[in-house]
Chains A and B, each alone.
Chain A
Amino acid sequence: MSSAGKSRSTGDPILVVRDIVKRYPNGNQFIDVLKGISMTVRYGEMAAIMGPSGSGKTTLLQILGLFLRPTRGTYLLAGDDVLKLDRNAQASVRGQRLGFVLQGCDLLEKTSVYENLEYPLIYTRFSPNKRRERIHLALERVGMTHRINHDANKLSGGERQRVAIARALVNLPEVILADEPTGQLDHKNSHIIMEYFAEVVGKGDTAMIMVTHDAEIARHCQTIYHIEDGVLKG
């Protein structure tokens, strides 16, 4: 299953979820963290998911990122039912078709910026000879080429976040999933980062779904979903 050969054009749906339920056991009872979530995200669209703590927004993002399996529901990624895939096939989808910017802009310890961006390419068996060019391209999109050989730990918060975005972009994903991507940044850097996202997604060959608490940050997105007690309100 692959999206190879499928055209990516602005407005076409890339991510479609229907009636997603996530249920956790709690003693003799069950708790429904997500209660029938349905949403559609299109190429070139930036969508924000907002909601109070414990509302289920991170759980939803984890299901969209194939970190978690929902209790029931369907999830189509460019028409492919990715919930039917096994663990390893889902990992391949994560590597080739999804890009992640996780909370706290996780960069790998004691590695350079180049090495951080190389990992997604390694796991998708991208040709070693073409890696530098691809990494350079991804860093160029976030204005970080001058830091390519720097130790990732020595970058500023804003720079680290830009490297995390470049890493999410390096495999040219169809969907970028971001969990509080500006959570640790100041006002100015947050807006710079959102402008990078807007520029990347605006090209129309990718989409972005982000989880945020910050209404001002969410305003950069075309669609804002509010989630409350496991129910999505568009």
Chain B
Amino acid sequence: MWFRDLIKISLRQLLRHWRRYWGVALTISLGVAGFITVVTMGEDFKNNLNDNLELIGGVTVIRVTLLNEPGWRPLWFQPDIIDSVREIKGVRASSRLAHKMVKIEVATRNWTIPMAAVDAGFWKVRGFNAFKGELFGQEDLQERRRVCVIGKILLRKLFKSRDMVGRYIKINGELYLVSGVLGGTHASDLAERVYLPLSTASDRIPYLFPDRLYVRCNTWDDVERVSEELPVVIGKFYDPKRIDVQYSYDALQHVLRVVTWSEFFVYLTILATLLLGGLGIWTIMMSAVRTRTREIGLKKAMGALDRDILSQFLTEALCLSVGSALVGIIAGRIAVQLASHMLKSPVPEDIFLSCVSMGFLMALGLGIGAGIYPSIRASRMQVAEATRYE
């Protein structure tokens, strides 16, 4: 039998009996689409989740502190240290912070309030956003503007929740424009602070050293490795004994546990779906061999060789699995595009293409695995018995 005849006969069989096959086709399509979507967008999903990790404990953020005791030569994070840190694999962003107590004057009364001087990357590293107004940025730091961001609790305590955005407040006797109110944090100590641009604060507040560094990792999988590399990298500049690296170990382990189990169940579901599809092919083909016994006999009477019958049934199984996988790939692409739109990140095309290849190979394996035995049975049928089958 010619190859093109084989394909034509098999496709004709599937299309004309589509009611028999659509359930299995749908199962395989869903399995492949799920596999492609989960694997392609999984990393982006993790990254996106990490952007909002303040909600689940900021487990991808590592805090590095340079220990400064009274009488010691003060250590602080200089730009070349930051450059070295950013070269560590798995580091997504970093931000320096200096802190000190400042005086804020409200209605002739002075309040001593914790102040954090931060750079423009701080908000992203910590996953903070503006509850009101806007958070100061790179331009404010470059221009050394006297702007500030105040925490929500501080706003309530000092200003009775009045709208202070666009107004001036006095910090250490100097006027600062309130650009925004901090949101995205549930930690009370962070919401009780006033935030100043690091460049502005360094100019105006004496003995202010950025001795703290926040490092955001790409995913929780990177945290342990990065936290081990940080003292080595920073240790090239300072005494390692004065470097303190901390991250939320318990929270990280908890997240890793939850994620690992979630991933396990997602993959298990996909695997079960695909196996169900394979079982469906097996059942349908076994049933087809029985219900089409007379047809098989007739074809053998017309001169079909054993291998013609075997290849026809096997090609039908393959057309079913691979055809369903193609539908799954299209559905997967649509799902990936939607996920990409929702996560606001581009589709990683290389991963997508790998998944398409794997999905295709899985379908091929399913088709062959589930179709081979029924096909062999069909091919070995005796003509005399098959043509007399009722």
Which chain A residues have a beta carbon within 8 Å of chain B's beta carbons?
62, 65-68, 87-88, 91-92, 94-96, 100, 102, 106, 108-111, 115, 119-120, 122-125, 128, 167, 171
Contacts and interface: CB of A to CB of B under 8 A. Distances in A.
Given A102-B301, A122-B2, 20 more contacts: A62-B383, A65-B301, A67-B383, A67-B387, A92-B305, A95-B302, A100-B302, A102-B298, A102-B387, A106-B294, A106-B298, A106-B387, A108-B295, A109-B295, A119-B302, A119-B304, A122-B5, A123-B1, A125-B2, A171-B303
B2 A95 contact: no
Contact of B306 (A67, A88, A94, A171): A88
A94 B301 contact: yes
A128 B4 contact: yes
A123 B387 contact: no
B299 A123 contact: yes
Contacts of A125: 1-2
Contacts, number: 71
Nearest to B294: A106
Given A62-B384, A67-B387, A102-B387, A94 B302 contact: yes
Contact of A95 (B12, B303, B382): B303
A95 B303 CA distance: 4
B5 A108 contact: no
Interface of B: 1-2, 4-5, 9, 12, 16-17, 294-295, 298-308, 382-384, 387
A195 to B, nearest CB: 24
Contacts of B302: 94-95, 100, 119-120, 123, 167
A100 B300 CA distance: 11
Contact of B1 (A62, A106, A122, A171): A122
A123 B294 contact: no
Contacts of B1: 122-123, 125
Contacts of B12: 111, 115
B15 to A, nearest CB: 10
A124 B306 contact: no
Contacts of B301: 65, 67, 94, 100, 102
10 contacts: A67-B301, A91-B303, A92-B305, A94-B303, A102-B387, A108-B295, A109-B295, A115-B12, A119-B299, A123-B303
A202 B211 CA distance: 109
B221 to A, nearest CB: 54
Nearest to A96: B303
Q: Which of A66, A94, A128 has the most CB of B within 10 A?
A: A94
A158 B315 CA distance: 35
Contacts of A106: 294, 298, 387
Nearest to A168: B302
Contacts of A96: 303
A183 to B, nearest CB: 14
Given A62-B384, A92-B305, A128 B5 contact: yes
Contacts of A88: 305-307
A95 to B, nearest CB: 2
A65 B294 CA distance: 16
> Which of A88, A96, A123: most chain B CB closer than 10 A?
A123
A174 B306 CA distance: 23
Nearest to A93: B303
Contacts of A91: 300, 303-306
B384 A68 contact: yes
